[in-house]
Amino acid sequence: MRTTRSRRFAQTASSEYARPLELLRPVQNSRDERPRRTVTDVAVYTFIVLIGAFQLTHYLHTPDFMNDVTYPDLARSILDHGSYQIRLLPETTFPPGLPLILAAVGLFFRLSPATLFPVIAAFAMLGLIATYEFLRRVEGRGVAVAISLFFASCPALFSFGTSIIYPEIPYLLVSMLALLLALKIDHGGRDIFLVGWVMLLSITLVAAVLTRSVGVALLAGLAVWIGTSLLIVPGIGRRRLRRFVLPLVIGLTAQLCWSVWAHRRENFEWQLPGYPRSYISQLRVKNGHHPELGEAHLGDIPARIGRNLVARAAGFSHLLIQRNVSKFWSSPLIFGLLVLIAIGAASSIWTGAGQFHDWYFLCYEFIFMVWPWDYRDRFLIPVVPLACLYLWRGAKAVRNHAARQPRAAGVSFILLGSLLCISSAGFAFGIAAFPVNPEHVRGDHLQTIAATLFWGIFTAMGLLMLKRPSLERLREGTGIFARLSRIVESRGPAGLRAVAIVIVAAIVLLGTVRVMAIGRYNVRHDITHDSNYPMLKATEWIVAHEPSDRVIMASEPEFVFHYSHHRTVWFPPISDPKILMDGIQRHRVGAILVVHQAQSYWLPPEDVCFQALLQAYPGAFQLTYRDLDTWVYEVASPLDGR
């Protein structure tokens, strides 16, 4: 039976794909491969350009880079020394795509915030336009407008792009261009331009893997898409193989060349698992922030995936509603969001092997499901448009299922709503009903109570669907739901569209107001409020008082090297004082910069590690500077170790 059904599905899919090429295009664009520009398109472009122009001038105004100096210094190394290194060591973790772009800018301008932040702003502007064009082709103009305007006015995106030089925003552009080009190649005819589009896609894939290592998700998604197409719809699969095999091979070759180059130049200061080793090595550790815990076991993976799912869903919800979200799994903003996105992605793949962007999204998310580091917004930024797309499709799929099978949907609503209502009530009243880390709730009782009420209403909706299983019977009633149903029906699609426009406009307006506030803060920025300012002051003291040939050990060696020009060594999160002292002697460290942080990126914190070192070797260090939770200790005398 299953074989017959599969054969019938494959024959149906093959016959559909054997029709004219218009069927391969999105329904809304079937009449014209190039949708005509409208006033709406111009309005979206104008908004994106205005936000981009604001970002061009309202970046973080500081004399030098304060948050992270890695990529500007890599670009400076390319220009000044013709080598890819940082603090005199080969860089083998971060691929060279963005540093090469920054170095090209540095040929004509100084490598300063005033010249590099506008580069990121230009990438953001072009990336948002590419996002709109992509979404307009795969889902239609209305959804594309809503998602693009929301993303353009997102305070987190603006804050990230105006405060730090990182490759996520350039990667957003190249990844969206790759998805756009794939649509063009897959849906286009065999004309003279096809070879040009294929070569352009090849170049874009190379740029993607050299901009961010997670660009391998594009290659993995492309390979899986071709493979599933060959299995499900062999005819269209063979056509896709012919058209996409060259970009796939070229992209894999670029990734292989970078990996081999980096592997041959690895030079580790400390024998620790995880960073700064390759990303494959980092995936093996139990906790990236706490490398002393060692490598993970298979039993650690499910807990890691669950933790990452909750964290990424909470982060996405935070971007959507611009409010902090408590990290308990039964929250509608976590569980509900995950379910809708999963349904949207599954419904996109269910028919005809899906599209390239569907498999790319799944591969990208899989990487971060097993990622051993804490969630950061920058890990989510490149796929926010796709997450919004599948959220929309998931909501549509649930709505259509409820309309077609109200009784089945009602039973599902009751069972799911009851379970989640009880769980949320447990969180709200401090009952450990499920084995979830209590710190995820963070004491936010309002959100847990709101979740309990939401799932209670959700359950009541299921009961109502069982009682009135059809819309026709609902309209015949006299209750409040019947009146609401008739009002909505009388307004028609225009009324629903007006409500949607008002909601989107409110979100975009709120986001734009916050973006402007962030921009004004950036222009009037006071570096004394920066978290790195104490370390900057200590570095200035080192420049004034330490010999130029003295080796400095610090937990942020790139920052100290950038400002002091002293040779630096990483202060690793190692609690064993003997290992630390052996490393100090091996690297001929002359001074150690210790910084106390309320929330340390590394565990154990550096001040804790240094206290253990100081207790083990009390006469080996002399305090020479202390201010603002920072200390500089000189190594008093070389020791043979104890």
Please tell me the predicted confidence (pLDDT) of residue 495: 59
- Is the pLDDT at 68 greater than 80? The verdict is yes
CA dihedral of 563, 569, 575, 579, whole degrees rounded to 10: -160
> Could you give the CA distance from residue 82 to residue 50 in angstroms, rounded to a whole number?
37
**pTM of the full predicted structure?**
0.89
Residues of the chain with pLDDT > 70: what percent? 87
Triad 315, 209, 133: Cα angle to 5°: 65
385-439, pLDDT tens digit by residue? 999 999 999 999 998 998 889 889 999 999 999 999 998 888 877 644 444 444 4
> Could you give the CA distance from residue 129 to residue 94 in angstroms, rounded to a whole number?
27
Q: What does DSSP say about strands 551-554 and 589-595: parallel, antiparallel, or unpaired? A: parallel
CA dihedral of 225, 226, 231, 235, whole degrees rounded to 10: 120
Q: Strands, E, within 516-618: which ranges?
A: 551-554, 568-570, 589-595
299-344, pLDDT tens digit by residue? 999 999 999 999 999 999 999 888 888 888 999 999 999 999 999 9
**How many Cβ atoms sit within 10 Å of the Cβ of residue 449?**
15
Please tell me the predicted confidence (pLDDT) of residue 432: 43
**What is the rounded average pLDDT of the residues 19-27?**
35
**What is the rounded average pLDDT of the residues 506-534?**
94
For residue 350, what pLDDT band results from cuts at 50, 70 and 90?
Answer: confident
599-625, pLDDT tens digit by residue? 899 999 999 999 999 999 988 999 999
Q: What does DSSP say about strands 568-570 and 551-554: parallel, antiparallel, or unpaired? A: parallel
Please tell me the predicted confidence (pLDDT) of residue 588: 95
**What is the rounded average pLDDT of the residues 143-171?**
96
235-282, pLDDT tens digit by residue? 999 999 999 999 999 999 999 999 999 999 998 999 999 999 999 999
CB-count exposure of residue 575 (10 Å: 0-12, 13-18, 19+): middle
Please tell me the predicted confidence (pLDDT) of residue 503: 84
For residue 483, what pLDDT band results from cuts at 50, 70 and 90?
Answer: low
538-596, pLDDT tens digit by residue? 999 999 999 999 999 999 999 999 999 999 999 999 999 999 999 999 999 999 999 99
> Could you give the CA distance from residue 48 to residue 147 in angstroms, rounded to a whole number?
12
Residues 6+ apart with CB under 8 A from 73: 86, 87, 558, 561, 562
Q: What does DSSP say about strands 85-86 and 630-635: parallel, antiparallel, or unpaired? A: unpaired
Please tell me the predicted confidence (pLDDT) of residue 614: 94
| Mean model confidence pLDDT for the chain | 88
- Is the pLDDT at 210 greater than 90? The verdict is yes
Please tell me the predicted confidence (pLDDT) of residue 477: 52
- Is the pLDDT at 467 greater than 50? The verdict is yes
